[in-house]
Amino acid sequence: MALRKVNFASGEYYHLYNRGVEKKNIFLNDSDYKKFIYLMYICNTTRSIVLRDISENFDRKETIIEIGAYCLMKNHFHILIRERSEGGVTAFMRKLLTAYSMYFNIKYKRTGKLWQGVFQSSHIDSDKYLKYLYSYIHLNPAKYVDLKWKENINHNSQKLFNFTIAYKYSSLMIYLNYAKGYASKILTPTAFPAYFKDPMEHKRQLLEWLNFTP
C-alpha cells in the first residue's frame, strides 16, 4: 500500500486523517467501528503482528506513537498523535490501514482499494492549534445533527452537545471515563499538554465551541 512521503519527526504532534475511496462509507455497522478501534490499539507496537494469532491478552510492549484523540465517522476518521520513535507514524498507519482494509474486504466480499489515496497529515506547530484539534476532532459527530452548525447561528447547542458526548466512536468516551477494556488504553494523555483537568473541564470546553458564533 502506498503511503505519503512525509518526514515525520519524533516528539512532534500530527493530525492524521483519511476517508473511503469516492467518499464511500468505511464503517457500516457497530462491529466495523469496534474493529478499527481495536486495530488502533494493537497496531501501535514495535512488534510484528499476525492478527489471527492475537488474543485479548496481547502484550504490545513498546508503542511507536502516542494517541491524544480520535474520532471515527461513517466515511472518514481523524487521529491526533505524537510520534514516539522514528518511522512510528508511517509504520502505525501502514499496519492500521492495511489490516482494516483486509478485514473490510473479506467481510463484505469486495476487492480493490478502500481508502482515498494515501493518508493525509498536518503538522501541529503551535499550542493553540493543538488545543483546538481536541475540540475539532471530538465535535465532528455534531455534523450528524446539524451539518452546517458552525454557520447556523441558531443551532441548538445543547442538542449538539448531548449527541456528541454520547457518540461511541471517539476518544471523548475515554476522557469522560466511559470507555472500558482495551479501548480505555488507546490514549496516552501524559504525552500531551494537560488542557483538561477532569471530564467536566472537557465538557466545558466543548460547550464553549458549540456556543461559538462566526
Write the pLDDT tens digit of every residue in 137-154: 999 999 999 988 888 888
The C-alpha cell at 144 is 450528524
Note whether 205 and 196 are within 8 A (CB).
yes
| pLDDT, position 2 | 47
CA distance 119 to 184: 25
| pLDDT, position 3 | 47
Over the chain, what is the mean pLDDT? 89
CB atoms near residue 173 (< 10 Å): 19
The C-alpha cell at 205 is 470546553
The residues, any chain, with a CB within 8 Å of residue 73's CB and separated by 6 or more, are 27, 140, 141, 143, 169
CA distance 19 to 77: 7
Note whether 80 and 137 are within 8 A (CB).
yes
CA distance 41 to 137: 18
Confidence of residue 56 (pLDDT cuts 50, 70, 90): low
The C-alpha cell at 150 is 458552525
The C-alpha cell at 70 is 480520535
Proportion of the chain in helix, strand, coil states, percent, rounded to 5: 40, 15, 45
The residues, any chain, with a CB within 8 Å of residue 165's CB and separated by 6 or more, are 172, 176, 203, 206
Q: Cα separations (Å) of 85 from 34, 65, 76, 97?
A: 26, 7, 26, 19
CB atoms near residue 128 (< 10 Å): 9
Given CATH 3.30.70.3270, say whether it is the number of domain 13-210: no
Q: What is the mean pLDDT of residues 199-210?
A: 87
CA atoms within 13 A on the CB side of 55: 1
| pLDDT, position 212 | 65
pTM: 0.91
Task: Tell me if residue 123 falls in helix, strand or coil.
Answer: strand
